[in-house]
Amino acid sequence: MTLRHTMVVAGARPNFIKVAPIVSELERRCLPTYLLHTGQHYSTDMSDSIFRDLGMRAPDHNLEVGSGTHAQQTARIMESFERVLVSVRPQHLVVVGDVNSTLACALVASKLREELGVRIAHVEAGLRSRNWTMPEEINRVLTDRLSDLLLTPSMDATANLIAEGISEENITFVGNIMIDTLYLRLAVAKGIDMPARLGVHSKPYAVVTLHRPSNVDAPEKLRAVLEGLQSIVRDAAVVFPMHPRTRRRLTEFGLENHLSGLTVTGPLGYLEMLSLMDGARVVLTDSGGVQEETTVLGVPCVTLRQETERPATLQHGTNRMAPWPLSAAGIAAVFHEAMNTRRLALGERVPEGWDGRARERIVDALAARAT
């Protein structure tokens, strides 16, 4: 009997960081693995350079769907993905996170579940912001409903799924896969010394990431955050690696003059960003992954959102929420609070299962369900 593939899907920057250790663990155990890139992210700095930084092999196939509205992007992925799924006929489809690629592929596989005998595993299942205006919340909840195996990163995620009536036998707590990548790449990242490269190594500096539509797609909201950054630049250097969505909006709204005094770069590679976060006094972000990475690094983090689907980073980590709605004064106040907090040592206080061994538990869970 030929062993059927495990197909692993990735589409956007945060997905690559999650699938890299899963693919390498599957291949270490000599399990046939098919890596599919949807092409949701395609620019060199959003895709190729991340693959390089992670030491990840090239995908077996790239659907090259590119950008578009949510419906266009999701529909394009679904149409192209169906053809590949039918031809590969994997035993397991592994989807990660909460981006459009995650939901699109899970939805296709769920309609072909019986015909192809494919089982869907969702890595990072059970996170909930309970904010239905976020596309990611829609993607998460629906992907969880469609999945056969729900692999959770934290105990709160397991509790969310049980509260939603998902059978406990379909849920396995595996811990946080992003942290595997962090531990695997930290030494190399430190060697890059990004703070020195950007000339911010000799003073305390903050790192900012911002890309949520709820923060950057409305001019008054984006302006409030930029004014907040202007007010902290007196006390610390501010490094702002800018996501392409944010760059586009800033130009559209004529807000470029609000960047004076900040160190602005394009999107950074994984290693560059890790090196920069590791040396930071404070990180301000609306990204989910950054809340988790700062927790493990022990760096104080301020989350620029109304809520977080990662409450474990508030309870066991270094994260705190900015006062909502975001304002210049609120951002300045919470930044100073964070600045006066002690930095923790690597892994000093982290949620259970954020230990760098999630990939082993994920592949164990898949193997336990192999037929």
Binder of ligand UD1 out of 4, 37, 211, 361 (CB under 6 A): 211
Environment class of 267 (CB within 10 Å of its CB; exposed 0-12, middle 13-18, buried 19+) = buried
Binder of ligand UD1 out of 7, 8, 63, 99 (CB under 6 A): 99
Residue closer to ligand UD1 by CB (options 33, 294) is 294
Q: How many CA atoms lie within 13 A of 200 on its CB side?
A: 25
Minimum separation from the CB atom of position 303 to ligand UD1 (A): 13
Residue pair 181/96 in contact by the 8 Å Cβ criterion: no
Q: Does 42 bind ligand UD1 (CB under 6 A)?
A: yes
Environment class of 58 (CB within 10 Å of its CB; exposed 0-12, middle 13-18, buried 19+) = exposed
Minimum separation from the CB atom of position 28 to ligand UD1 (A): 28
Q: Does 172 bind ligand UD1 (CB under 6 A)?
A: no
Q: Does 136 bind ligand UD1 (CB under 6 A)?
A: yes
Two structure tokens written together for 226 = 């930029």
Binder of ligand UD1 out of 5, 8, 10, 13 (CB under 6 A): 13
- For the chain, the straight-line distance linking the first and the last C-alpha, in angstroms and rounded, comes to 11
> In whole angstroms, what is the distance from residue 340 CA to residue 282 CA?
10
* Torsion sign across C-alpha atoms 186, 137, 134, 35: positive
Taking alpha carbons only, the member of 316, 54, 91 closest to residue 177 is 54
Q: Does 135 bind ligand UD1 (CB under 6 A)?
A: yes
Q: Which residues are catalytically annotated?
A: 211
Minimum separation from the CB atom of position 216 to ligand UD1 (A): 9
Q: Does 138 bind ligand UD1 (CB under 6 A)?
A: no
Binding mask 326-365 for ligand UD1 (x = CB under 6 A): ----------------------------------------
Q: Does 100 bind ligand UD1 (CB under 6 A)?
A: yes
> In whole angstroms, what is the distance from residue 167 CA to residue 220 CA?
44
Stretch that binds ligand UD1, among 18-26, 41-49, 84-92, 315-323 (CB under 6 A): 41-49
Q: Which residues are CB-contacts of 134 (< 8 A; sequence separation ≥ 6)?
A: 212, 214
Q: Which residues bind ligand UD1 (CB under 6 A)?
A: 12-14, 40-43, 46-47, 67, 98-100, 135-136, 211, 244-245, 248
